[in-house]
Chain A
Amino acid sequence: MMKTNWDSIKSRLAILADAAKYDASCSSSGSERKRDKNGMGNVEGMGICHSYAPDGRCISLLKILMTNFCIYDCKYCVNRVTSEVKRARFTPEEIVNLTLEFYRRNYIEGLFLSSGIIGSSDSTMEMLIRVAKSLRQDHKFNGYIHLKVVAGSSKELILEAGLWADRVSANVEMPVQEDLNLLAPAKTISAATKSMNQISEKVQETKEELGKKTRFVPRFAPAGQTTQMIVGATKSTDALILNASEKMYQRYSLKRVYYSAYSPIPDADVLLPNEQPSLVRENRLYQADWLVRFYDFKAAELTTAEESNLPLDIDPKTSWALRNRSFFPVDVNTASREELLRVPGLGVRNVDRIIQMRPYRKISLLDLTKIRVSLAKTKYFVTTSDHNPDAFLIDVQNLKDRLRPPETQLSLFDVAATARTGEI
């Protein structure tokens, strides 16, 4: 093998990792692979965060672009053709090498590879596929691989990508076409959703085939697909964003929508805000998204016609509860799971614990604290086996003030934690 020039690799790595960091996705979960007897690497369900950057974000994968040259001019993107950043490029072989060296030292769970578009979409996508294929075939690497669909790639290539990768994903970037027209006139929502549809159909088909057990079926993107929306680069409201997500969850069985608060980039386009991103808004969107996926809420319940953005000072579930006070109080000893899930302060885990315990014990307020429910919120919305005077406060006018967390509690720390877990 040729001797690698690590200095050159390092300087290009700095550019190509920097260029990739605005993609919020980092998850390496949701797939299973056993190690090949002649290689290294496996995937065991929950991905591992191997490090954390000072921005509090998990580092789980080697997340890089193959190249940050790009012929597109998406205004929100640091790699757009009109941006004056330094450009670099890796060969597929260099990426393969880097992935193996990183993985072997236990730095990462695998690779997340994306690229600026050079030449045509398909020729770029082909090179990404080459990396994944070489890792799997030449090196018997069974770690995690996430390939980004280069905008406008053909169906054949998307279907091939899924053969090697655990996850294939296409970014919609914006909730509505008007936003794209403004910031990325070469892109369409329909092109992204077309790719998503191709992926979800193939995932579904593979599942059905596997179920029949009649013949060997090659796996296809076992960790499914995700997408990303940039928030705060345009005026689109949370209602629009959540509505777009809900639709995509339903139609393309997405594992996750990532919301990425637009954050200033070097040599930013003049159309974009220069301020620090609203991480609180990003967090509220993650909470709302979580409510839709795991708490049986409809996106439309979370905002109102008068206020089409989620409130920043209070979480979306509490906000819903305040608008729907007649739903409460809920009796923790008799209520259904669905009802319990609507109680502010009760997370999925606690609801399940309560339901598990109920046959053996009448649940009191004290019991709730023992399973670490924070009563500060919950006490106004439940009745328990003992007397709960606060449940009578449900109709008081200033309940919102009582529920609003003190300023300091909305620290960036909480924000980041919920962004990850969505637990409210």
Chain B
Amino acid sequence: MNSIGYDLNGHDMKFDQWRSQARLLLQQGVAPAHAQWSQAASLFSEVDSISKPLSNPVVTSDFIELAQLVSCVRDPDRWSLLYRLIYRMNHENRNLLKVSVDEDVRKADVWAKSVSRDIHKMHAFVRFKKTEVNGRETYVAWHKPEHQCLELAASFFVRRFGDKPWSIFTPNLSAHWNLKELSFSKGIPQNKFEHSDSFDEVWTTYYKSIFNPARLKIKMMKTEMPVKYWSSMPESAVIQELIRETPKILQNMAETPRFLAKVPETSDWRVLRDSAKSCKACPLAGHATQTVFGEGDLNAELMIVGEQPADEDDKSGRTFVGPVGKVLSEALENAGIGRDSIYITNAVKHFKWEPQGKERLNKKANGREMQACKPWLEAEIARVKPKVILALGATAGTALYGRLVNIQKERGKIHTESPFAPAILISWHPAAVLRSASIEEKSQRLAELSEDIKLALNKVPGPKNFSNHT
């Protein structure tokens, strides 16, 4: 007859209490069937088939780890399951826990997994609100775990936020950190938790913006962040709105107009030029007089790429005429080369302008227009195969360098890592020379442009030495 008269409520028992009880029972050799752990029932029935008493029952650390987790489950059967396991480990197989297919082991594993997940989710989803308690900056949160796992979960918050006082409230239990020790008190229902934090809005702003509507996966979100936790998470308030707006955002993206010039596959320069004449790939064609294609020596070793045609170019159909063209001619002359022996073109082939009084004022092409027109430039480069390209101005620079180029800083340097030509350089656009703020600046920029052309000519390698273009 077993005589431990012990009235334990199975629900409220703590793991440590169970542990010392289990130890006693093992020492007395009580079989699992005779140990009753359920609530209110008398603890032990009459014992007639006692197994071998164990003076020193073995409790392995992996069992303790598992049992601690299992003890958090709200199921009243957890204590008897745990006893059965430890009993069998002592009498049947010390390595029982390794046999994942055993019914008892499997059940304990499932419960333990569910509790660890719940603890993990508590670490993840607790949302602190900043407040003041007795004049001290304090952080408070309300969270509803699925299992009774606050005690196991709380130490994490001490390790992480030990430098400020905080409290975590759950329906059954609350945890409090006062910079020295962790204590527990009764829980509170959610409607008794009355803290708010205006900073929540900054967080939801972030949450909204980090979401990529092109990859909507609501089911996945709900699996990882189950709806049962949402009520205490500020971001959950905007989820519906985000989902609702998704189709509209996607449609807007899809409808943004995108243009690209269609270039015939040919190396016949005349065919290229003539097709370009009728290009209407982007809106610029609608406002300009004509396409201004490149021109010059089709076997030139140096190609000069400007930005886009100017007013006079638009009217005449030829590039770099008018005042801007004159500056370029002057610079070429200074460098000692004629227009005929190089190839000159622009990154964009139609004039872009806005009216100012009677004038047509030059306006910079935007990224989309530049991109639309790039195939023409690429076709010209492929046809002429220049050994050196000199970009004039930022637009040409962006097209050829693949980034914004600071002309002041990068002129005079040879850029060799380009897919377009073995050597690329940049200099002032003649229009920038004309726009100079002072006479001095003007003559300096002109001199620099001339120098850069000279440098480019210098970089033209010896005859047919074209092999190191990668």
Contact = CB atoms under 8 A, between A and B. Distances in A.
Interface of A: 6, 9-10, 13-15, 17-18, 20-22, 34-35, 37-42, 44, 48-59, 62-63, 71-75, 80-84, 98, 101-102, 104-107, 117, 181-182, 184-188, 263-271, 274, 276-277, 279, 353, 356-357, 360-361, 367, 370-371, 411-413, 415-417
29 contacts: A9-B202, A41-B160, A52-B220, A54-B211, A54-B218, A55-B213, A56-B221, A59-B207, A71-B403, A82-B370, A104-B130, A105-B139, A105-B203, A106-B127, A106-B128, A106-B157, A181-B419, A184-B402, A263-B212, A265-B253, A266-B256, A267-B367, A268-B258, A269-B371, A270-B259, A271-B371, A356-B100, A357-B100, A416-B217
A48 B123 contact: yes
A371 B217 contact: no
B30 to A, nearest CB: 26
Contacts, number: 238
Given A48-B124, A50-B125, A82-B367, A360 B98 contact: yes
B368 interface: yes
Given A40-B164, A185-B418, A265-B253, A107 B127 contact: yes
Contacts of B256: 266-268
B280 to A, nearest CB: 15
Contact of A274 (B99, B156, B258, B419): B258
B359 interface: no
A296 B331 CA distance: 64
A274 B254 CA distance: 6
A14 B209 CA distance: 5
A42 B158 CA distance: 10
B210 interface: yes
Given A21-B209, A104-B164, A55 B130 contact: no
Interface stretch (B180-188, B235-243, B269-277, B380-388): B235-243
Contact of A40 (B163, B210, B418): B163
B322 to A, nearest CB: 27
A244 to B, nearest CB: 18
Contact of B203 (A38, A58, A102, A268): A102
A92 to B, nearest CB: 18
Given A50-B124, A277-B215, A188 B220 contact: no
A186 B402 contact: yes
A82 B213 contact: no
Given A15-B209, A186-B401, 15 more contacts: A14-B209, A18-B209, A53-B210, A54-B221, A55-B211, A72-B403, A82-B366, A101-B199, A182-B419, A185-B419, A185-B420, A266-B253, A276-B250, A356-B100, A357-B100
B98 A356 contact: yes
Nearest to A38: B163
A412 B202 contact: no
Closest 4 CB pairs of A and B: A82-B367, A56-B220, A185-B402, A56-B217
B253 A360 contact: no
A6 B202 contact: yes
Contacts of B417: 188
B254 A53 contact: no
Interface residues of A, dominant DSSP: loop
B99 A357 contact: yes
Interface string B379-415: 0000000000000000000101111111000000000
A192 B160 CA distance: 35
B221 A53 contact: yes
Interface in B237-264: 239, 242-243, 246, 250, 252-254, 256, 258-260
B318 interface: no
Interface of B: 93, 95, 98-101, 106, 120, 123-130, 139, 141, 156-157, 159-164, 197-199, 201-203, 205-221, 223-225, 233, 235, 239, 242-243, 246, 250, 252-254, 256, 258-260, 366-368, 370-372, 398, 400-406, 417-420
Contacts of A107: 127, 203, 206
B233 to A, nearest CB: 7
A17 B404 contact: no
A101 B205 contact: no
B358 to A, nearest CB: 30
A140 to B, nearest CB: 8
Contacts of B250: 264, 276
A416 B279 CA distance: 44
A63 B210 contact: yes
A276 B214 contact: yes
A105 B254 contact: no
A274 B217 CA distance: 19
A48 B120 contact: yes
B402 A268 contact: no
Given A42-B160, A51-B207, A411-B219, A361 B127 contact: no
A22 B213 CA distance: 11
Contacts of A265: 253
A58 B120 CA distance: 14
Contact of A54 (B93, B129, B163, B243): B243
A174 to B, nearest CB: 13
A73 B100 contact: no
A412 B417 CA distance: 41
Contacts of B212: 21-22, 53, 55, 57, 263
A350 to B, nearest CB: 9
Which of B95, B156, B239, B404 has the largest count of A CB atoms less than 10 A from its CB? B404
B342 to A, nearest CB: 23
Contacts of A81: 367, 398, 403-404
A356 to B, nearest CB: 5
